[in-house]
Amino acid sequence: MRIALLEDEQDQADLVCAWLKAAGHNCHVFSLGKDLVRAVQRETFDLFLLDWGVPGMSGAEVLTWIRSNVAEPVPVLFVTARQREEDIVHALTNGADDYMIKPLGKLELLARVDALGRRARPSPPADEAVLEYGRLSVDCRNRQVKLDGEEVAMTQKDYELALFLLRNIGRLLSRGYILEAVWGQAAEINTRTVDTHVSRIRGKLQLTPENGWRLSAVYQHGYRLEQLAADAR
């Protein structure tokens, strides 16, 4: 998962990030609430880990902003030293999904992160062989995509990107998020790579409104793939 961590104590941020990265997650650290809010307006995250007592805009204020401005229900886990019952109730009542009190335990944190991730975006069955999307089908074992039963010639990276987009239908995905998920690279890499591959996939898989799809670029953010209802074509 791509995780945003709001934590102003450098040692704590480094430790939590090390745990998350070792577990296979990508961690982006913000020491100020306003910086996280600014990033969320152009980037996509799967989970937010928020400390309450950070300078300026508090974690509680960031939570309120997220729930008011982020359309999809991204999980929020509070990791804070505040342990009064009223603080916990306030966070959960205002949209937090879970609450942990410092000092943190590595295994418990990772277990809670994984649990939130599973609830937000269930993984496809391990034995799933073929995914069906109308005229499109994806053979996961042989890493092939077919359109109307005919295999589409694709590079392996095109295949990975197509599968990623299809598994995230309706979700707004930033270019940085796509790069990390598909290429395993930091968001600072030239995002024209994403644009080039998306354009190629749109043409090869006929992801156009007349064929029941809309693969649209969202200004200063990224892309969203939508499957259209018949009366919207």
What's residue 229's pLDDT?
Answer: 75
Residue 141: the pLDDT is 87
- 36-41 contacts: CB < 8 A, separation 24 or more? 36/4, 36/6, 36/62, 37/62, 37/65, 39/4, 40/4, 40/66, 40/69, 40/70, 41/69
pLDDT > 90? residue 5: yes
Distance, CA of 228 to CA of 233 (rounded, Å): 7
Q: Give me the mean pLDDT over the 32-37 stretch.
A: 97
H or E element in which residue 52 lies? none
pLDDT for 171-226, tens place per residue? 999 998 999 999 886 645 566 888 999 999 999 999 999 999 999 998 878 999 99
Mean pLDDT of all residues in 162-168: 93
Residue bearing the bigger pLDDT, 219 or 62? 62
In the predicted structure, residue 162 carries a pLDDT above the cut 60: yes
Average pLDDT, integer, range 137-151:
92
Minimum mean pLDDT range among 35-39, 55-59, 226-230: 226-230
Domains in the chain, CATH or no CATH each: 2-120 (3.40.50.2300), 130-232 (1.10.10.10)
Of the pLDDT bands very low, low, confident and very high (cuts 50, 70, 90), residue 20 is very high
What does the pLDDT look like over 94-115, one tens digit per residue? 999 999 999 999 999 999 999 9
**Is the preceding peptide bond at 122 cis, omega within 30 degrees of 0?**
no
Say what the pLDDT of residue 125 is.
Answer: 55
Side-chain-side CA neighbours of 74 within 13 Å: the count stands at 25
Residue 136 pLDDT greater than 90, yes or no: yes
Torsion angle defined by CA atoms of residues 214, 218, 219 and 222, in that order, rounded to the nearest 10 degrees: -120
* 79 φ/ψ angles, rounded to the nearest 5 degrees: -130, 100
Q: What is the pLDDT of residues 113-126, one digit of tens each?
A: 999 998 887 666 55
Segments in the chain forming alpha helices (H): 10-22, 33-40, 59-69, 85-93, 106-120, 156-166, 175-178, 192-204
| Average pLDDT score, the chain | 90
Chain centroid to Cα 164, Å, comes to 11
Sign of the torsion formed by the C-alpha atoms of 203, 208, 213 and 215: positive
- Specify the pLDDT at position 233: 53
The model carries a pTM of 0.85
Give the dihedral sign, CA 221/227/229/233: positive
